[in-house]
Every structure is written in structure tokens, then in C-alpha cells.
Amino acid sequence: MNTKIQSIKFNADQKLLAFAEEKVGKLDKFFDGIVGAEVAMSLEKASDEKNKIVKIKLEVPGNDLFAEHKCKTFEEAIDLNVEVLKKQLAKYKEKLRG
């Protein structure tokens, strides 16, 4: 799977990039037809603690799956998005079989 990671309006450190790459890469276990993934991380200017936004788009044949979360940390948002995408992949696989 080809994974593109963007950090918008900030410079992400290698540790965060590696974390995102690892977590999104594990989605291949649930569906081997994933063409690519795009991860966009950004900071929102707000007084709220939950100002880290992560959007993940998975490209699968005939469809795109998408998840977005706003959390206190990028890692938490990535984890939540990966869980949502696992469920979406399961539904997508069922749809293909049915």
C-alpha cells in the first residue's frame, strides 16, 4: 500500500510519522485490496485542548473510505481513525461478498 503523510502548518517529527505509517499499514491485514492511504495531520488554532486533527482516506477499488477525528494528541486521533476504518473495511468486504 502506498501511504502519503502530510503535516499541515507544522513539522511532524520522525516518531509521529513512523507511528502513523505503522498504524495505517496494519490496515492491510484487514483487506489486502487497499490501493493507497492519505494521512493529513493539522493543528487548529483554538483554546480547546482537542486541537489536533487527523484525516485518513483509504483508496479501495471502486470506493474511498474516510475517517476524521479531533483529539488532544495526534496518536490518539490516529488510533481512533484506524479503528473506524477497520469497521468500514469490514462492511466493505461484506458488501463485496454479498
CATH number of the domain encompassing residue 19: 3.30.160.100
pLDDT one-digit tens code per residue, 61-82: 988 999 999 999 999 999 999 9
Look up the domain containing 45 and give its range: 2-97
pLDDT one-digit tens code per residue, 13-24: 999 999 999 999
Alpha-carbon distance of 28 to 8, in angstroms, equals 25
For residues 50 and 47, the model is more confident at: 50
Strand ranges across the sheet with 52-60 = 2-8, 36-43, 52-60, 63-71
Cβ-based neighbours of 56, under 8 Å, separated by 6 or more = 24, 37, 38, 39, 40, 66, 67, 68, 78, 81, 82, 85
- Count of domains forming the chain: 1
pTM of this structure: 0.94
List beta partners, residue 54. 41, 69
Cα angle at 5 between 54 and 1, to 5 degrees?
110
Which of 10-24, 34-48, 53-67 is predicted with the least confidence, judged by mean pLDDT?
Answer: 34-48
